[in-house]
Structure 1
Amino acid sequence: MSQPTPQRADYRHFQPITTRWHDNDIYGHVNNVTYYSFFDSAVNSYLIERGGLDIHDGEVVGFVVSSSCDYFASIAYPDLIEVGLRVGKLGNSSVQYELAVFKAGEEEACAAGRFVHVFVDRASNQPVAIPAELREAMEQLVL
């Protein structure tokens, strides 16, 4: 059974990303593995800008523990894209992000995925509660 293509209206935040020449593979479109980089960049940009995540010296870091992606249409350099972001599940120490890649201005996603961050203490690598400022930023993305 096929799933419906995600729509722009299904997402709370959009991160513009410029594709790069080396994103294309031998088949002339952005390679599937590159989408995970788009997801990671969109989430971390949001957490840094809106949630105050300090990736260099902060006490907590987010580890990706699970990820997936489904593809609906190709993109290729020099397409301008926007990654839609929302939160599907927000736990005590983990969050599941739901993401979609859109060509700039288009309503239907070219790809959609998800990944789970578990927040851990930088020194011990043990799970910790999501800090208040980060949690507040994530709550704004819950549908």
Structure 2
Amino acid sequence: MTKTRATRSDFVQYRHLTTRWQDNDVYGHMNNVVYYELVDSVVNSWLRNEAGMPVPDGDIVGLVVQSGCTYHASLGWPEPIEAGMAVARVGNSSITYLIGLFSVGEDDAAAEASFTHVYVNKDTRRPVPIPDNLRAAATSLLREE
């Protein structure tokens, strides 16, 4: 079964990102690792600014336990990027985030990433229930299937 390419309507909210000269590799497009850096920045900014999580200073931290990215089209400097964000699943101690990276004005995603955070106590590294403020914020981003 072939998965269709994500479009803007698959995501709940958007952020504008700036690319940098150093993001391009020798082939003239953005290196794969930069996609992951952008995805990580989008989610951590959302956690801090919208979910009320004191990243990186809180007693609870999110550890990435699974990640993946599908690349459909090149992105790179000097073009800006629009990042769509949604949540696929909210569990007891984990959240699966979905991020679409888009060229400005394009409806089809250039890249689709997902990753799962398990929330743990920063000292013991044992899973903890998702705090109410994070659960409410994540639930507001749940993508309808």
Return the TM-score normalized by structure 2. 0.95
Indicate conservation of the 8 Å contact 2:69/2:114, yes or no.
Answer: yes
* Cα deviation, residue 20, structure 1: 0.6
* Cα deviation, residue 57, structure 1: 2.6
Give the secondary structure class of the aligned counterpart of 2:26: coil
Correspondence 1:125-136 to 2 at 5 A = 125-136=125-136
Indicate conservation of the 8 Å contact 2:89/2:95, yes or no.
Answer: yes
CA root-mean-square deviation? 1.0
Correspondence 1:1-143 to 2 at 5 A = 2-143=2-143
| Amino acid in the other structure paired with 1:31 | N
Alpha-carbon distance in 2 for matches of 1:103, 1:41: 17
Indicate conservation of the 8 Å contact 2:65/2:117, yes or no.
Answer: yes
| Amino acid in the other structure paired with 1:65 | V
Give the secondary structure class of the aligned counterpart of 1:51: coil
Alpha-carbon distance in 2 for matches of 1:55, 1:111: 26
Alpha-carbon distance in 2 for matches of 1:2, 1:23: 30
Alpha-carbon distance in 2 for matches of 1:43, 1:117: 10
* Cα deviation, residue 75, structure 1: 0.8
Alpha-carbon distance in 1 for matches of 2:20, 2:103: 14
Indicate conservation of the 8 Å contact 2:47/2:55, yes or no.
Answer: no
| Amino acid in the other structure paired with 2:60 | V
- Deviation string 1:34-65 (CA, Å, 9 cap, x unpaired) is 11111101111111111111123311000111
Q: Percent of counterpart pairs with the same letter?
A: 44
Instruction: Pick which of 49-58 and 14-23 moved more.
Output: 49-58
- Deviation string 1:4-57 (CA, Å, 9 cap, x unpaired) is 111001100112110111000000000011111111011111111111111233
Structure 2 unaligned segments of length 5 or more: list them: none
Alpha-carbon distance in 2 for matches of 1:71, 1:57: 33
Alpha-carbon distance in 1 for matches of 2:51, 2:113: 22
* Cα deviation, residue 77, structure 1: 0.2
| Amino acid in the other structure paired with 2:93 | S
